[in-house]
Structure formats: C-alpha cells, structure tokens
Amino acid sequence: MWTNDSPGTGLTSEKTLFGTMPDGSKVDEYTLANAHQMKVSILSYGGILQSIVVPDKRGKLADVSLGFDRLEDYLQPNPYFGAIVGRFANRIAKGRFALDGKPYQIPINDGPNALHGGPEGFDKKLWEARPVTGANWVGVELTYLSPDGEMGFPGNLRVTVRYTLHEDDRLQIHYSAVTDKDTVVNLTNHTYFNLAGAGSGTVLEQVAQINADRFTPVDSSLIPTGEVQPVQGTPLDFTAPMPIGAHIQANDRQLKYAEPKQGGYDFNWLLNHRGDLEALAVRVADPESGRTIEMHTTEPGVQFYSGNFLTGTLKGKQGLTYAHWGGFTLEAQHYPDSPNQPHFPSTVLSPGEAYSQTTVYKFRAN
C-alpha cells in the first residue's frame, strides 16, 4: 500500500494479489480510493474494472459495476464485464475488411460477425501493470503488446491504458497505441453500470440523456447499414432525459434487432460534440439513490447497451445475479464496422501516428 505524495488529498492506491492464471501467472488488483469514499479496482487481467464503489445521496455505499469476485469466473465465458475491449471494439461484418488492398479475416465470434476483437481479444490478456500518481489523482497504467497477426490484425500494436481516479470523483481512462504496420484500432471499456447497485434489479427506471441527434441504424446482425438517421421520433431519442425503460419494449424494428424477444438498446449514437472532452456525452441518473454518472469522451460515438443478454443466471459479486436489463454500458468508441464503411470516421492507425482516446466517467450523488 502506498499513498499519494501530495498531502491532504486523501488519495490512496493499493496493489493486492487477485488470483493466479492456469499457467501460474499472477493477476494483480489495483485499488484506488479518494477522500469522498469513492473506490475503484482494476485487474491486470483484461484491464478489467472490477468494482466501482460510490456513495449515494445519503452516503450509503454501493458497487455500481457488474462483475465477479474471483478470477476463475472472469476466465469463464462472460459478457465482457468491465473489460478493455480491442483491438477493435464492436462488430466487423463477417470479420472481414481490406486495408491497403490486402484482405484480412478476424475469427468470427458473434453470429456471422467478429465482435470486440475476436474470440481472444484484449479482454482476455494479462497486461503489465504499474502504479502512477499525480498531484490530484492516483492510477494504474497497463500495457500490452499485441503481436502482428494476433486475431488476424496486421501490425505489432503497443497499447497503453491508464486508469486514474481523481479528487473530484472522476474516473478517467486514457488509451494510447502505436503500430509498426497500417492497422485498425478501436478501444473502449465494457463496464456494465447499475447506479442502484449491481445486482439490485433492472436499470429501467434510471434516467438517461444522450447528447446525440443521430445514430447508425443496423441490420438484424447489428451491423450498421451505412446510413445515419435522426433519433427524433424514435425510441432512441434520449436528447431529453428519459427513463431507460420508457420505450424499451416499443414495437420498433431496431429494438427488436437488438433483442428479438423483449427489445433493448444496443446501438451506436453519434455524439453531437464529438471530440470535445468538455462537452457532456451521456448522463444517467438513478432517482432513488441520487447517484449520477456523466460521461465525457474524445470519441465520436457511444454504444449504449442495456444488458439485453443478461439472463439472471450468472452469479456475480457477493453471490448476486444480474437480471435481464440489469446493467447498461457506455462504450465510447468509433462506429461499428468502420473498416468497411469508408464514410465513417477512420479507425486506421499507421506507423508514426499515435492513437489516443480519453473517456471520463464522473460520479455525483444528489
């Protein structure tokens, strides 16, 4: 355990052993805390954000992120709880794309498509980890070298992800990467949030606002059709605050594509202030506990996913189960299938360039 060197900030950071991989490698857990009782844990396996404990308006603490207590559970198939996803977050149609005239094939793992970088993505890698500190923050820096050809992607990609917890209740994730060959990169974090507390039920009454006038409609396999459509007049219109559950079961083709039985959200919204880290991207508030999360990002889009494939069967932290719609993700990202959609913002990274993305999750209770 060590404390931040600037006195009085109340920031602390601690490294403990979380578990051991089947090959004997150790998985560390970094726990970062601030003076406002906010406490987050990050694992060197998958860069997983394992817990986010925040107070509510009465000062009552709850862990608002879904996940597991034990490494063994993270090693089993699970829906990317808290993980860093890459090399390419979200879907690539049929796992295929061409770059500099050469075809590439990513192994498919989601119906006909490749999802989140293929079956062995960054969420399943053991990252190098080291503590970092600053004047008003504590953090952990994770690095991973993805070799040329891993999951079919070209180029050795050196990736750094820095999680920092700040005095003012911001949890910031900064991603950077460099390559030695042209490649495609789209990195994000896949935390499922439930502001009432993970495992406390659905998020349908939590109120979301997404600062986006448009979205990329999808086909039945959740690949963008290539069009960009206004959200106005659709159940995707969160430009004004609206409970997540207000229209989730509307008779709408997009919602049915996302979840054929009961409907759900699983789409890419085009943020209005794309690139501007100062502008609000998304806010979600839980009226009951008063907990609020605000997301800011340098990315042009966000995948807002309402936990449609949670089934209430996986046993999560403290033995709690996660209901259908029991968590939402805010995956700051470039648009899905960008490598096949030349009119979408480019996800190509070339040697000599630096990939950089910053996303901030700010917590409040009021």
> So which residues are the catalytic ones?
190, 331
Query: What torsion, rounded to 10 degrees, do the Cα atoms 295, 50, 260, 200 define?
Result: -90
Determine the interface stretch with ligand BGC among 152-160, 174-182, 301-309, 318-326 (rule: CB under 6 A). Answer: 301-309
Q: What is the rounded distance in angstroms from the CA atom of residue 294 to the CA atom of residue 273?
A: 14
The one among 45, 68, 80, 238 contacting ligand BGC by CB under 6 A: 80
**DSSP code for 315:** B
The one among 9, 303, 306, 338 contacting ligand BGC by CB under 6 A: 303
Write the single-letter amino acid at 236: L
Element housing 255 (H / E): helix 253-258
**DSSP code for 359:** E
Q: How far is the CB of 81 from ligand BGC (least distance, A)?
A: 9
Q: How far is the CB of 145 from ligand BGC (least distance, A)?
A: 24
Q: What is the rounded distance in angstroms from the CA atom of residue 326 to the CA atom of residue 320?
A: 11
Sort strands 301-305 and 266-271 into parallel, antiparallel or unpaired.
Answer: antiparallel
Write the single-letter amino acid at 320: L
Q: Which is nearer to ligand BGC, 19 or 121 (CB)?
A: 121
CA neighbours closer than 13 Å in the CB half-sphere of residue 105:
3
Diameter of the chain measured on Cα atoms: 59
Please give the span between the terminal C-alpha atoms of the chain, in angstroms, as a whole number. Answer: 32
Q: What is the rounded distance in angstroms from the CA atom of residue 109 to the CA atom of residue 162?
A: 28
Q: How far is the CB of 267 from ligand BGC (least distance, A)?
A: 8
The one among 107, 148, 309, 318 contacting ligand BGC by CB under 6 A: 309
CB distance 220 to 110 below 8 Å: no
- List the x/- string, 211-240, binding to ligand BGC by CB under 6 A: -----------x------------------
Phi, psi of 338 (to 5 degrees): -55, -35
Count interface residues toward ligand BGC (CB under 6 A): 8
CA of residue 167 relative to chain centroid, distance? 22
Q: Which residue is nearest to ligand BGC (CB)?
A: 79
Q: Which is nearer to ligand BGC, 20 or 311 (CB)?
A: 311
The one among 331, 334, 349, 357 contacting ligand BGC by CB under 6 A: 331
Q: How far is the CB of 353 from ligand BGC (least distance, A)?
A: 26
Please give the residues from 254 up to 273 whose contact with ligand BGC meets the rule CB under 6 A: 266
Question: Is 79 near ligand BGC (CB under 6 A)?
Answer: yes
Q: Which is nearer to ligand BGC, 2 or 309 (CB)?
A: 309
Phi, psi of 258 (to 5 degrees): -70, -35
Q: Which is nearer to ligand BGC, 190 or 283 (CB)?
A: 190
Question: Is 81 near ligand BGC (CB under 6 A)?
Answer: no
Q: What is the rounded distance in angstroms from the CA atom of residue 132 to the CA atom of residue 165?
A: 11
Contacts of 77 (CB under 8 A, 6+ apart): none
Q: What is the rounded distance in angstroms from the CA atom of residue 300 to the CA atom of residue 250?
A: 27
Q: How far is the CB of 192 from ligand BGC (least distance, A)?
A: 9
Question: Is 67 near ligand BGC (CB under 6 A)?
Answer: no
- List the x/- string, 14-43, binding to ligand BGC by CB under 6 A: ------------------------------
Q: Which is nearer to ligand BGC, 64 or 66 (CB)?
A: 66
Determine the interface stretch with ligand BGC among 10-18, 95-103, 238-246, 302-310 (rule: CB under 6 A). Answer: 302-310
Would you call the peptide bond into 87 cis, given omega within 30 degrees of 0 as the criterion? yes
The one among 88, 305, 322, 361 contacting ligand BGC by CB under 6 A: 305
Q: How far is the CB of 222 from ligand BGC (least distance, A)?
A: 6
Determine the interface stretch with ligand BGC among 53-61, 121-129, 303-311, 356-364 (rule: CB under 6 A). Answer: 303-311
Interface residues with ligand BGC (CB under 6 A) are 79-80, 222, 266, 303, 305, 309, 331
